[in-house]
Every structure is written in structure tokens, then in C-alpha cells.
Amino acid sequence: MPKITEEVFYIPGQDEFMPDAHAYVLGKPSSQNLSLIDAGVIGKGNYKIQSLHKEGIELSSIKRIIMTHTHLDHIGCLSEIQREIPSAELWVHQLEADLLEKGEEKAVYGMDMFRTLCQLQFRLKPGAFKFQVHRRLQGGETLDLGDTVWEVIHIPGHSMGSIGLYHRPMKILIPGDVVYADYAIGRFNLYGANAFELKKSLMRLAELEVDILLPGHNPIVKDLPKGYILKTARQWEPYLK
């Protein structure tokens, strides 16, 4: 598991027949107060747990799991991870937290066809993604995550409760599926998505100084060119109305 900085570890997604989101571990290991950002797709819980073991991270030091959003490729193996780390809290933006607590899975599957396919493929029952949320995020919070401070930014558009996590001193951005490397952005045709909101979110992120981009999929970028997010937003602008 590559180390990005002293307080950020990276567990690359292990894509097979379905994409598996990257996970990140935030916090100084010495703090014993670590946060796991996103889980991954169904069946990848063991891989993520093994990755933590390999890095010498004690599972008991993972105090919470923070979701950038609740699509299946990010939340699919959450229950597998919770089985190994039952004490970890779950933090989610309030707009998706409400759905999760009701076991309302529209935001997990994104579209009916995909839900049917996944339920057949993985033999999932309706309500398989019902979770208790310990903290509802709104955006605007400053979180002390194990001797490292991260700002929560609500960036809807790819999903309604998407959040970004920003580490201002190190200029690190974890944008979930809102913006990727290679001038790509998250899709905006799933349940709860909104093209215009996505544009506004990209413009909001474009105001931040970002050197390190740690998205939910595809390559991570360690020397992000100046103005990258603005350029990406501009390229996509004709489609984001």
C-alpha cells in the first residue's frame, strides 16, 4: 500500500468485472485515530483489510469510515469491513445518510437496471445496504483526523451527497468520483446526479490549490498542474447544463 505522505495511505482499487474504488487511510499512525475513506465494491473487503495488515495498521486504530458517496463501488464491501472493525463509526453526508438508514438503495445502485443485475449477480436482497450512520456531514466541517486536519466540501452532481476532503497545508484533495486524472469527471446520469450541480462543484474545487489529487478511481496525481480542475471544468462545460 503506497504511502502518499506521513498521514495518507493509499489502497488502490482492485478492479475486476466491476470497478473497485480506491480507499485511503488518513491520520498519523502514532495518533491511533485513523480514518478509512471509502470501502470498495462487493467482495473486496478482505483485500482492503489485508492491505491494512500489510502496512502494519492495527484495525483497532481505524476509528471511522468516511464515505465520499454511497455508490456500490464505494460502499459495496462496507459490511465486510465492518465485520472486521465493528467499532468504526460511519460518517456520510446527510443527503445520502438518510437513504442509507432507511435501506433505500437508489443512491447505491444509481439505476434500476444495475440494481437488478447486481441483485442477481451477488444474490443480494433488497435492503442489503442499510446502515446506521454515526455522523451526518453537511460540508463546511473541519475534521481533526488523527493529528491532521481535513475540510469537508459538499460537491453534489455525481451524486447528491458527494463530499470532497481537502487538506489545505499539503494541498491534497480527495474528490471521490467528481474529478479524476486525465481531465475526466464523474458520470452525471445516475440517480441523484445533476449536471449543473456538478459544474458548480467543479468550479468550487477549482478555487482550491491542489498539488495531490486522490480520486476514487484511475491514477492518482502527485504533481497536479496548476489550474487543472478549472481546465477540466471548462472542457466539460458544454455538457454540464
Q: Which three cell numbers stand for residue 5?
A: 505522505
Closer CB to Zn ion, 96 or 177, in the complex: 177
- Say if CB 190 and CB 110 are below 8 A apart: yes
Taking the complex as a whole, how short is the minimal distance between the CB of residue 128 and Zn ion, in angstroms? 18
Contact 154, 167 (CB under 8 A): no
CA dist., res. 116 & res. 95, Å (int):
24
Residue 9: partners with Cβ closer than 8 Å, 6 or more residues away? 1, 2, 3, 24, 25, 55, 57
Q: How far is the CB of 84 from Zn ion (least distance, A)?
A: 22
Task: State the amino acid at position 71 in one-letter form.
Answer: H
CB of residue 73 to Zn ion, shortest distance in Å? 4
Q: Closer to Zn ion by CB, 25 or 146: give it.
A: 25
What are residue 58's phi and psi, to 5 degrees?
-75, 135
Choice between 146 and 161, CB closer to Zn ion: 161
Q: Which is nearer to Zn ion, 73 or 96 (CB)?
A: 73
Closest contact distance (angstroms) between CB of 43 and Zn ion is 15
Q: Which residues contact 175 (CB under 8 A, 6 or more apart)?
A: 68, 155, 164, 205, 213, 214, 215, 216
Whose Cβ is closer to Zn ion: residue 39's or residue 62's? 39
Cβ 207 to Zn ion, closest distance in Å? Answer: 23
What is the rounded CA–CA span in Å between residue 111 and residue 208? 32
Please state whether 127 falls in left (phi above 0), alpha (psi between -120 and 50) or beta.
left
Closest distance of CB 174 from Zn ion, Å: 12
Give the nearer residue to Zn ion in terms of CB position, either 114 or 183: 114
Binding footprint of Zn ion on the chain (CB under 5 A): 21, 71, 73, 177, 216
